[in-house]
Amino acid sequence: MRLWRRRSTPAATGPRPLNLLAVWVAGIGWRGGEYEVVVVDEQGHAMVGPTVFGGRRVGELVRVLLDHAARRGGALCCVVDSTNGTLDGHLMAAGLAVYRADPWVLPDRPPHGSVPARVLAATDPARLTRLRPETGSLGGRDADYRAAVAACAAAEGELARSGRWLVRGSGTRPEIALTFDDGPHPVFTPLVLDILARYRIRATFFCVGLCAIAYPELVARIATEGHAIGNHTWSHPYLPDLTRDEVVRQVEATGQVLGAVAGTAPVMMRPPYGSRTPAVLRWLADRDLTTVLFDVDARDWTTPGTDAIVAAVTSAAAPGSIVLMHDAGGDRTQTVGALPRIVEALLGRGLRFVTVDRIG
């Protein structure tokens, strides 16, 4: 087993401020609707786990890791893989050091899950990438991401002509669509819904399956209050890393959970991070899903401050805009604080708020 022992210079994949000779490592995997955690010491001996946490116990999972970080004076590294984009924001918001293991450094995954947590905890540290709030889950893979997106232009045009691709409305009517990704979350989603109800406006929520299966009552509230629901995959993976069968399983499992609560499975799908390849777009269209992106990014996931979130949206929004915000995936206190100011500013311009499926 590879241990966290390193005597050479830090890897090029990211700065490593910790003394890796004394660090403990937490591998965090997922399978189905649960997360698996293993904490190993500097000798590779398991100190915790494997311990399984259901989706409603994410707060407990974070507290367990914080407790072990405190015992080691902060020397705890949390390792996730690129199929698990649901936890890293929460872990970083709690002050934990988070690293990503990419597919080429790991063994094959099971059909609907990550590699086991113990494998993640034992991965060579030189082959991991340090994640930071300002760069997000895809830190270090920007060039890959841009190349994959650039290759999609022809496929996007073809899908747009068939009504299976949407970035913004036509702009011919004074309408705008607010969208919220990554939820539902037990704290932030209700706060967002309360604000929307106060202003009597509708939005679109692109839900993650792991969160929806944990909080079906929040999915039900979203639907009952007249908001639209979209598919945001099961575990928020970077889709170009997945096979066709994995992509299909991600969207179908999520659609089943959302459909069981809302009555019908969503026909709108937003790929995590906007990640895509021509093949991924075809696979989604083959499932009769319309891929929905956005033309205004609040960048609230970077937690830049409430004023910055308000400015990002109000300076770029125009008739037909689809606005990307988040109700989960990390601490969304700033998003909740910015939302009333955004709504009032856009209402003041005479814009009407509609769900994505109704934008003109």
Tokens of 239: 């889709």
Contact indicator for 131, 273 with CB cutoff of 8 Å: no
Q: In whole angstroms, what is the distance from residue 25 CA to residue 38 CA? A: 8
Q: In whole angstroms, what is the distance from residue 215 CA to residue 38 CA? A: 25
Q: What is the SS3 assignment for 216?
A: helix
The catalytic residue among 81, 181, 241, 327 is 181
The catalytic residue among 90, 102, 326, 327 is 326
Q: What angle do CA 187, 189, 195 make, to 5 degrees?
A: 110
Q: In whole angstroms, what is the distance from residue 291 CA to residue 166 CA? A: 6
Q: What is the SS3 assignment for 89?
A: helix
Q: In whole angstroms, what is the distance from residue 149 CA to residue 59 CA? A: 34
Tokens of 285: 């269209």
DSSP bridge partners of 75? none
Let me know if 181 is a catalytic residue.
yes
The residue assigned the tokens 């598919």 is 231
Q: In whole angstroms, what is the distance from residue 44 CA to residue 95 CA? A: 23
Q: How many CB atoms lie within 10 A of CB 31?
A: 18
Let me know if 327 is a catalytic residue.
no
Give the residue numbers marked as catalytic.
Answer: 181, 326
